[in-house]
Structure formats: C-alpha cells, structure tokens
Amino acid sequence: MASAFREDNSHYEPTSPRTSVHGARGGDGEETANAAERPSNDASSADHVQEKTAAAAPLTKKQKVKRHCGKFWWWYLIGSIILLAILLPILFLVIVPAIVQRILDNQAMPVYGGAFIAVSSKELNVSITTSLDTPLPANIDPVTLFMYNAETPEFSPFVNITLPQMHVDGETEINIPGQTVAITNETELIYWFSNVFDNPKVQLSTRGDSVVRLGALHSNAHIQKTVEVSSLNKLSGFGIQHMQLMMPAEANGTNIQGTLNLPNWGALTLGIGNLSLNLMSGDLRIGLITVYDVLIPPGNNTRYFNGELYLDVVFQNLGTILSSQGDALSEGNIQIDATGNSTVVNGEHIHFIEAILNNRRVTSMIPVVKLVGDLISSFTNGSQVSIPNLLDDVFGNSTLIQDILTHWNTTTTAGDSTAAKGKRSQPSLRKGVLGPGLSLLKLGMKMGMGKF
C-alpha cells in the first residue's frame, strides 16, 4: 500500500508556487514566474480602459441628427406629407397669384402709339402699342381688353380688343395689331372722343382677365389700368396754308381748292374718312370744303381740300364780314373759322364723329397779303385785268362791285347811318377797320396781277 501511495505522489504536479509553512517566500524561481505574469495583466487592463473611453466619447451634432432621423424617419415622412398638403394649396392659390397680381398692378403700360380708324358708323379699327416690364419671364394667354371711361360710375366699355398670346421677359414691347371691333356703347365713345379733341391729354382705361404662366405654374390675373395719352388739343395749329379759286367753277359748284394743316398733338393716329368743313367768318357761313380720306398720324399733316366758296355771300355781306374781322385785320390777317359739317366713310355718315366735330370750331389766321395774292393769281395768271370787270364776269353785277370798291375808299364813323349823297346805304363799320385792311388788300391785288 505504501508503495502505491508513493507512486501516485510521484506524479503530482503543483499548479501554484509552494510556500513554507511559515509564509516565507519561495526561491528565485518563484519570483521569476510572478514577474513574467505581471505584464500580461497590465495589458489587459489598458485595453479595457481604452474601450470604455471610446464608448464614452460624445457624438457630433451631425451624428446625432443622423441617428435621430434614422430612428424616427417614418414620423418625419408623415409630418412632411401633412405639411405639404397644407402649404401647397396656399402657395398656388394665394401666394403665387398675389405676386403675379402685384406685378401687373405695378405696370405703367404707357401708350406709345396706335390708331383709331373709323370703318363704319358701328365699327372701328383699333391698334395699340404699349409695353410691360416684368421681373420674371412669363407667358400671357390671350386676353380681351375692354376700353371704357373711368369717370363713368357704371362700367360701360365702348370697344374691346384682343391682346394676343405673348411672352414677356423684362421690358417687352407689346403690339396689339389692328383689328376691326364693334362699337358697344356709342354714348361713351362720343364722350371719350370729345376729350380727345378738347384736351392735350386724355385718360384711356382698360380692363380684362387673363392667365399668366410662370413655367409650369399658372395663375389667373386681372388687368385694370388707366393711362394718360396725348391727344388733339383742339387741333391747335390748324390753318389754311394755300387757297386757289377755280375759274370757271366745276359743274358741282366746286370753285376753290388748296391745302390745310391738320395737326395731331397726340400719340394715336386718327382716321375719320372724308371730312367736310363749313368755312365761317363770324357767324356767317361763307363756304364748304371737303378733306378726303383723312388719316392724321402724330405731327403736322398737310392735306388737300376742295369745295365751294360762296362768293356771292362774301360780297353781299362784305361790310358784316369786315366788321367781324376787325381784330384780325389790325394784325394783317383774315380769320377764317371751320366747323364740322359731315364725316363720311364709304358713303356712310359716321355719327359719333359728326356729333363731336359739328359742335367744335377751330380758327385759321391767314395773312391778308397771302390770301388775296392767292385768290387774285388764281384767275389772272399775272395778266393785266380790271378787277371790277373780272368780278363782273364772276357775279354778273358790276354795280354791286363798283359800290363795294367805292366804299373801300371812304370811311364812316360809328354814328353814321347813311353814306354820302348818291351812294347806296352801306353797313356801318368801326373806324379804322378798313384802313389797314384796304391797304393790304390792294397790295394783294397788285401781287396777283404781277405789279409788285
């Protein structure tokens, strides 16, 4: 038994260093073994500390947002859909239309040119040139523009025109081509044309609705604008430039022709067909002339006319005429006024033009020397002619002509009621009226007969 026990102990191998019963340290071999174990334990502790340090390092803001969105992305998607469902209708139905409307409201839309041409008593041919200045490129669908008077309490357009589809980007010129349109309210048109004739500037109001497209977006827009347009200013500068008697007169009575100036101070070309004008001296109608195919663009316009000068009325009422010419004659002029008589296009009277011009009066001042020279040279051609005999051929009344010429050589006072004995009674004239007028008349006759 004892040997067997010993055999087992011989195979026993301790797993830890042995110590003495008294606690003494082992030999050198034991310390060496402990020294070899320490570095391994220290390395393990260092790795553990580093792991804790790395795990405890704070995340950046970007990392936090990314981790948060990754965790709650579904909720954000639902919230975005709800938000867009609320905001997009506001954007498209409120914000964009408001921006577009504000841009249109800020447009000046000046009228640079255009035309109003009478086609018939019920139609006009209208064209307009204007401009738009937009901060964004846009396309505008065709729009019907109604023209009306802003002063009229109730909206009452007199014509409407169609603005074609157009693209605008920055300052863009807009040309509305000539289009024949129906007159929808003649009373309002007469009111507007009256202002065109009477004033240096006239207001033109327009209104319409269209669709403005900003790329894929589109918005309904309302156009309402009142602009000032230069106008006729009472035809200031109107005048007969040249007048010639036609002898013998034509079968229809035409015995006068010449040229006159029709000034247009406005921006719009006006066309009113054949215009007939009464020639007036004071309240006496002394003739009727016609200007053909009147189309007057801006500026001075020389136009041919012909018609009838009522020579019998002129000489039979010479005293009355000279009395009414006192102020003009004192400055060496003859005043001939003109009023509208008729306006005709293609044989049809244009009532809305006649309603205006037939109630307006324009004045032409003609130098006496030029007028008399033109008239006398019309039928003398520079030859030596006896004026009484010439006028006798015209009127067949030499006694009347002799009395008129005799009357020119005498002056009467304001209180005289009869002329000298043996003379026919003549109209009373203001003293001094005939003096300068007669001198100028004689000078004109001399010029006409080639004596000056």
Strands, E assignment, 195-310: 201-214, 217-230, 239-245, 256-261, 269-281, 284-296, 302-309
Torsion of CA 420, 423, 427, 428, to 10 degrees: -10
Distances (CA, A) of 400 to 143, 328, 331, 389, 410: 68, 25, 28, 12, 16
Predicted local distance difference test score (pLDDT) of residue 361:
95
Identity of residue 340: G
CB–CB of 96/212 below 8 Å? no
User: How many other CB atoms are found less than 10 A from the CB of residue 295?
Assistant: 15
CATH class of 105-231: mainly beta
Name the residue among 311, 310, 95 with its Cα closest to residue 219.
95
Predicted local distance difference test score (pLDDT) of residue 1:
43
Predicted local distance difference test score (pLDDT) of residue 120:
95
Per-residue pLDDT of the chain (452 residues; tens, 9 = 90+): 444 444 444 444 444 444 444 444 444 544 444 544 555 555 555 555 555 555 557 878 777 777 777 777 777 788 788 877 777 777 777 777 888 888 888 888 899 999 999 999 999 999 999 998 888 888 999 999 999 999 999 999 999 999 989 899 888 999 999 999 999 999 999 999 999 999 999 999 999 998 988 877 788 889 999 999 999 999 999 999 998 888 788 999 999 999 999 999 999 999 999 999 999 999 999 999 999 999 999 999 999 999 999 989 988 998 898 888 888 888 889 999 999 999 999 999 999 999 999 999 999 998 888 887 777 777 555 444 444 555 555 444 444 445 544 544 444 443 444 433 333 333 334 444 444 445 545 544 554 444 44
Continuous H helices in 57-150: 61-90, 96-105
Determine how β-strand 284-296 pairs with β-strand 269-281.
antiparallel
Continuous H helices in 317-433: 318-324, 326-330, 351-357, 368-380, 387-395, 398-408
Determine how β-strand 113-120 pairs with β-strand 269-281.
parallel
Structure tokens that stand for 412 in this block:
């009467």
Predicted local distance difference test score (pLDDT) of residue 49:
53
CB–CB of 437/444 below 8 Å? no
| Boundaries of every domain in the chain | 105-231, 235-310+338-361
Structure tokens that stand for 65 in this block:
């947002």
Predicted local distance difference test score (pLDDT) of residue 200:
95
What span, in angstroms and rounded, lies between the C-alpha atoms of 348 and 203?
29
Predicted local distance difference test score (pLDDT) of residue 16:
47
Task: Identify how many contiguous H helices and E strands the chain contains and give both numbers.
Answer: 13, 15
**Rounded to two decimals, what is the model's pTM?**
0.69
Structure tokens that stand for 398 in this block:
């030499």
Cis-peptide into 177, omega within 30 deg: no
- Residue 299 is classified by DSSP as B
Distances (CA, A) of 192 to 177, 231, 360: 21, 11, 15
CB–CB of 384/391 below 8 Å? no
